[in-house]
Amino acid sequence: MSEVAVARVEKGGWDPALIEGMERLAASVLGPDPTVLADELLRGDRLYVARDPQGLAAFMLVARVRLPVGAECRHARYLGLTVARQDEGGSAAARGVRARLISDARAEEARLRRGLLLFSTAATPGALCTARAFWGEVQPAHDTAYPDDLVPAAEAAAHWLGARPGRQLPFVLQGLDPVWRRAQSFPGRIATDRLRRELDLLQHFGVDESNGDRLLLFCSLPKESVLSEAEAA
């Protein structure tokens, strides 16, 4: 297997050549719509990139955020767009950027002496399965439940993303990313029980990918044993 080099790049260091490489990689995986990456570049302030002898193999955009939750501002991380080349090298690169992010986040939690709020969004069963495979305590759970004390954080995260959370369902972000309208319909993609459970969850909350809806997710850093098992899969 080719060696993968992973680097963390702060927003001030995103030069045009790097952005062009990200655009090419994103277009090869997500299609030619440039707004997918452009929106995430505006949200993010930290970038993890992985390169191998073939060039840019994967990247992940992250934003360091402080969310107003009750009487305090909680340190949070937005886990943004992640794209990897569709081959074995790309899979190794994706594991590398995720491991570097987790290492950095653990160091930050140790400095703060408390956990970070990690949040992201998803609109497909596959994305939800991936989130549950690599992160800990993903909310909302399969039974659609979520802790009441997470609601203020969900409302704050939704506002940060530029969405208006529903009063009854604060985790549903309607029309957040209209660029996803090109997505295929769900039938034919639901091949496993795990995917069916995630589809049921999305349907319960009324998340319609074709309308640009997203489900707001909260999670924690994975335990070491869980991380090892997921990376070995």
Q: Which residues contact 110 (CB under 8 A, 6 or more apart)?
A: none
CA distances from 205 to 9, 37, 95, 224 (A): 36, 26, 30, 31
What's the half-sphere exposure (Cβ side, CA atoms, 13 Å) at 186?
19
Would you report the helix, strand and coil content of the chain in percent, each value rounded to 5? 45, 25, 30
Of 169, 177, 154, 162, nearest to 203 by C-alpha is: 169
Answer yes or no: is pLDDT of 223 > 60.
Answer: yes
Cα separation, 112 vs 212, whole angstroms:
35
Q: Tokens at residue 92, please?
A: 């190794």
- Paired residues of 214 in beta bridges: 173
Domains and CATH numbers, the chain: 1-115 (3.40.630.30), 117-233 (no CATH)
CA distances from 219 to 152, 180, 206 (A): 15, 23, 21
- Paired residues of 126 in beta bridges: none
Answer yes or no: is pLDDT of 185 > 60.
Answer: no
Give me the pLDDT at residue 68, please: 94
What is the 8-class DSSP label of residue 12?
G
Cα separation, 140 vs 177, whole angstroms:
20
Give me the pLDDT at residue 178, please: 57
Burial-class residue 119 by CB neighbours within 10 Å (0-12, 13-18, 19+): buried
Query: What confidence tens digit (pLDDT) does each residue in 146-161 have?
Result: 888 899 999 999 999 9
Q: Is the pTM of this model over 0.85?
A: yes
Query: What confidence tens digit (pLDDT) does each residue in 38-79 have?
Result: 989 999 999 999 999 999 999 999 999 999 998 889 999 999
Answer yes or no: is pLDDT of 228 > 50.
Answer: no
Of 162, 81, 70, 163, nearest to 117 by C-alpha is: 70
Query: What confidence tens digit (pLDDT) does each residue in 3-38 have?
Result: 899 999 999 999 999 999 999 999 998 887 778 899
